[in-house]
Amino acid sequence: MKIGVFICHCGSNIAATVDVLKVVESAKSMPEVVYAVNSMYTCSEPGQQAIEEAIKERGLTGVVVASCTPRMHEPTFRRTVERAGLNRYMFEMANIREHVSWVGKDKAANTAKAVDLVRMAVEKLRLDKVLIPKFIPATRKVLVIGGGVAGIQAALDCAEGGMDVVMVESEPSIGGKMSKLDKTFPTVDCSSCVLGPRMVDVAQNERIELHAYSEIASISGYVGNFDVTIRKKATYVDWDKCTGCGLCTEKCPSKKSYDRFNEGMGETTAINIPFPQAIPKKATITAASCRLLSGGKCGVCAKICTSQAVDYTQKDREITVKVGAVVAATGYDLMDWTVYGEYGAGRYPDVITSLQYERLLSASGPTGGHIRRPSDGREPKEVVFIQCVGSRDPSVGRPYCSGFCCMYTAKQAILTKDHIPDSRSYVFYMDIRSPGKGYDEFTRRAQEEYKAQYIRGRVSTVYPKGDKLVVKGVDTLVGEQVELEADLVVLAVGGEASQNAPKLAEKLRISYDGYGFFMEGHPKLKPVETNTAGVYLAGSCQGLKDIPSSVAQGSAAAAKVLGLLSKDKLESDPQTAGVDVKRCVGCRKCINVCPFGAIREVDMRGQIKAEVIEAVCQGCGLCTATCPQGAVQLSHFTDNQVLAEVEALCQS
């Protein structure tokens, strides 16, 4: 083997704390290294050209680049060596930036460590084998999980691009959180007027197959070929027959059902259509509140229904679909603010969440758009908004900023003044975070034009006094305590990852962070990709974001799906596990640990052996680590390669 080693300066990123020339000199004496050179920016065009030329002129058969993290530029350099005629896997990268120059100041120590890392890469390269990717056929269909604004955008854009779409929504209607909002910032335009038509587009688009009130039961397969089982939850109404006339909802005698759509601000009937613009506009029975389904006698809705759509015997059923890609757009939940004893922990009816307040503001809400206190139905005159409830608060495990609360609070203050001109709004805030287009102007308008009084400080306690609520806090700008008597307290409750996000992530085999938000492939360069091929993200499931950003991500995810499935066949990564049948004793340990179901047991002349399904294998290496006899080896990361690296390190 003839190995060439290229040591990158990365400007001064590496060269400032690593003696690059010394690393070059050391590399020259490493086994099978015939050429070693330094380069100012190896990833630049001249840098890559130098590699190509060296391969051709010196007949290199393998290349090591010592530079930055392979996460970013390994694909770059693989293409480089491939252009020069080498197999792309005859390439190794040593990370002497993130692992060396950026984390240490001692130049001598850094240089020694860089030499070690280069030696390890050389030793691994010496055992590299040529790997050839395979091509697998792909299904040109995409699954969009979640019918909020991000999912809707992704679905419509995919359909526009000629892709068939399967949309799965867990609630009886699509629309997500946006459908619950009254107006949107910073334009104060009607939320349902903006979203409604898009929801209708979803319903009418022939390419989109909508499954509302459904969940993902399981997903197997791999990029291009996912097999999805969708559980359609029992609605007790045959949606093919239901016309959405709403007669049943008028006659249902059980009127005390928790109104999910209205965030519990009102009560609804056991059989209901969540809101007038619902898509699909079909009735669903909440079994727990239904008199008949909970064991009593009733059947009024079945009698009244002119199309005989009500079916009390309906059961959950499962359907399967085959798709080539998945967009997860599962959104967020509000955090459980009742952990805050100081705000009453849910004991006072007139302390409500911002989303409940949206329902009070909405013309289609339980109060018909008139702001009324939940306790006595009186119109509030003094409204206190408390920001950062469950945001930027490490004490409740929510150290992050939810990002959108500053803006919607300003909007709600403006709307309060619009609805009740003689009202006064107070906003307790930590910092006003409004870095979007027209956002800062908007928060200023709330203060200057709509006279919302912004108080920089936290609230220490809220307690009832007569029919009012006393809000005690501090104004840190004045340095004084503040005590206000409020008619209504609105908590700007922060968001958190959906309750079921981790479970879905496991089904999708994608990572999620400590809060349950799905992990993007790269924080800057792969914001909608995940580390699982063919699975993309859109909207707040990746991290909390406002409507414009969610829509942008929906479109971005759609672009990725359209790009991926623009070809009939996909290239599979050959860095997969393989079983040496001579060594395999059929103990099945690899089968048990494989998170992807990529290993099956086969009968070979009466003996049980493990077999890797290459297209399913993601190359995670769990089987390799588990196999006691080393029969399962991961191509490009064999035990021998890892041992050679360890050996190189230990013997230096």
Query: What is the contact mask toward another protein in residues 368 to 407, using x (rule: CB under 8 A)?
Result: -----------------------------x-x--------
Helix (H) or strand (E) holding 193, with range, is helix 191-204
Q: For 372-496, where are the alpha helices, taking DSSP H only?
A: 405-419, 439-448
Stretch that binds another protein, among 61-69, 112-120, 444-452, 624-632 (CB under 8 A): 624-632
User: Between 142 and 617, whose beta carbon lies closer to another protein?
Assistant: 617
Stretch that binds another protein, among 72-80, 312-320, 524-532, 623-631 (CB under 8 A): 623-631
Stretch that binds another protein, among 212-220, 309-317, 440-448, 581-589 (CB under 8 A): 581-589
The answer to whether residues 287 and 272 touch, using CB atoms and an 8 Å cutoff, is no
User: Between 249 and 633, whose beta carbon lies closer to another protein?
Assistant: 633
The answer to whether residues 380 and 487 touch, using CB atoms and an 8 Å cutoff, is yes
Q: Which residue has the tokens 């059923």?
A: 317
Stretch that binds another protein, among 215-223, 454-462, 559-567, 585-593 (CB under 8 A): 585-593
Residue 303, C-beta contacts closer than 8 angstroms, at least 6 positions apart: none
What residue type is 459 in one-letter code? V
Query: What is the contact mask toward another protein in residues 82 to 101, using x (rule: CB under 8 A)?
Result: --------------------
Whose CA is closest to 31, among 125, 168, 170? 125
Whose CA is closest to 186, among 461, 634, 546? 546
Query: What is the contact mask toward another protein in residues 595 to 614, using x (rule: CB under 8 A)?
Result: x-------------------
User: Between 567 and 588, whose beta carbon lies closer to another protein?
Assistant: 588
Among 49, 243, 481, 640, binds another protein (CB under 8 A): 640
- In the complex, minimum distance from the CB of residue 520 to another protein, in angstroms, rounded to a whole number: 18
Among 303, 381, 588, 600, binds another protein (CB under 8 A): 588
The answer to whether residues 611 and 637 touch, using CB atoms and an 8 Å cutoff, is no
User: Between 318 and 506, whose beta carbon lies closer to another protein?
Assistant: 506
Query: Based on the number of CB atoms within 10 Å of its own CB, is 295 exposed (0-12), middle (13-18) or buried (19 or more)?
Result: exposed
User: Between 1 and 43, whose beta carbon lies closer to another protein?
Assistant: 1
Question: Within positions 245 to 264, which residues make up the interface with another protein, using CB under 8 A?
Answer: none
How far apart (Å, rounded) are the C-alpha atoms in residues 490 and 291?
Answer: 35
Question: Within positions 111 to 150, which residues make up the interface with another protein, using CB under 8 A?
Answer: none
User: Between 11 and 397, whose beta carbon lies closer to another protein?
Assistant: 397
Stretch that binds another protein, among 171-179, 348-356, 518-526, 587-595 (CB under 8 A): 587-595
Query: Based on the number of CB atoms within 10 Å of its own CB, is 254 exposed (0-12), middle (13-18) or buried (19 or more)?
Result: buried
Residue 109: Cβ within 10 Å count: 13
- For position 626 contacting another protein by CB under 8 A, the verdict is yes
Report cis status (omega within 30 of 0) of the bond before 349: no
- For position 632 contacting another protein by CB under 8 A, the verdict is no
User: Between 362 and 638, whose beta carbon lies closer to another protein?
Assistant: 638
- For position 631 contacting another protein by CB under 8 A, the verdict is yes
Q: What share of the chain is helix, strand, coil (3-state, %, to 5)?
A: 30, 25, 45
- For position 585 contacting another protein by CB under 8 A, the verdict is yes
Q: What are the C-alpha distances in Å from 112 to residues 92, 108, 134, 409?
A: 19, 6, 40, 55
Question: Within positions 490 to 509, which residues make up the interface with another protein, using CB under 8 A?
Answer: 502, 505-506
- For position 643 contacting another protein by CB under 8 A, the verdict is yes
Q: Which residue has the tokens 């049980």?
A: 608
How far apart (Å, rounded) are the C-alpha atoms in residues 5 and 30?
Answer: 10
Among 251, 420, 639, 649, binds another protein (CB under 8 A): 639
- For position 589 contacting another protein by CB under 8 A, the verdict is yes
Sign of the CA dihedral with 429 first, then 435, 440, and 446 last? negative
Cα 396 to the chain's mean position, in Å?
A: 22
- For position 336 contacting another protein by CB under 8 A, the verdict is no
Stretch that binds another protein, among 80-88, 404-412, 532-540, 589-597 (CB under 8 A): 589-597
Stretch that binds another protein, among 10-18, 223-231, 433-441, 592-600 (CB under 8 A): 592-600
Name the packing angle between helices 405-419 and 354-361 (round to 10°).
30
- In the complex, minimum distance from the CB of residue 624 to another protein, in angstroms, rounded to a whole number: 9
- For position 594 contacting another protein by CB under 8 A, the verdict is yes
User: Between 291 and 589, whose beta carbon lies closer to another protein?
Assistant: 589
- In the complex, minimum distance from the CB of residue 590 to another protein, in angstroms, rounded to a whole number: 10
User: Between 465 and 582, whose beta carbon lies closer to another protein?
Assistant: 582
Among 255, 444, 567, 583, binds another protein (CB under 8 A): 583
How many residues at the interface with another protein, by CB under 8 A?
Answer: 28
User: Between 219 and 505, whose beta carbon lies closer to another protein?
Assistant: 505
How far apart (Å, rounded) are the C-alpha atoms in residues 526 and 549?
Answer: 15
Q: What are the C-alpha distances in Å from 94 to residues 74, 110, 569?
A: 10, 13, 32
Query: Based on the number of CB atoms within 10 Å of its own CB, is 620 exposed (0-12), middle (13-18) or buried (19 or more)?
Result: middle
Q: Give the HSE-up count for residue 300: Cα atoms under 13 Å, Cβ half-sphere.
A: 17
User: Between 307 and 629, whose beta carbon lies closer to another protein?
Assistant: 629
Among 483, 514, 523, 605, binds another protein (CB under 8 A): 514
Q: How far is the first Cα of the chain from the last one, in angstroms, to the nearest whole number?
A: 22
Helix (H) or strand (E) holding 56, with range, is helix 45-58
User: Between 26 and 641, whose beta carbon lies closer to another protein?
Assistant: 641
- For position 633 contacting another protein by CB under 8 A, the verdict is yes
* Pairing of β 3-8 and β 33-39: parallel
User: Between 149 and 599, whose beta carbon lies closer to another protein?
Assistant: 599
- In the complex, minimum distance from the CB of residue 397 to another protein, in angstroms, rounded to a whole number: 5
DSSP 158-186: HHHTT-EEEEE-SSSSS-GGGGG-SEETT
- In the complex, minimum distance from the CB of residue 496 to another protein, in angstroms, rounded to a whole number: 12
- In the complex, minimum distance from the CB of residue 168 to another protein, in angstroms, rounded to a whole number: 22
| E strands present in 367-509 | 382-389, 424-429, 453-456, 459-465, 468-475, 480-486, 488-493, 495-497
How far apart (Å, rounded) are the C-alpha atoms in residues 154 and 174?
Answer: 13
User: Between 466 and 514, whose beta carbon lies closer to another protein?
Assistant: 514
Tokens of 593: 């640990």
User: Between 379 and 601, whose beta carbon lies closer to another protein?
Assistant: 601
- For position 622 contacting another protein by CB under 8 A, the verdict is yes
- In the complex, minimum distance from the CB of residue 158 to another protein, in angstroms, rounded to a whole number: 29
**Which residues on neighbouring strands pair with residue 63, listed in sequence order?**
4, 91
* Pairing of β 62-67 and β 91-95: parallel
Stretch that binds another protein, among 28-36, 140-148, 529-537, 621-629 (CB under 8 A): 621-629
Q: Could you list the residues that contact another protein (CB under 8 A)?
A: 397, 399, 502, 505-506, 514-515, 582-583, 585, 587-589, 592-595, 622, 626, 628-631, 633, 638-640, 643
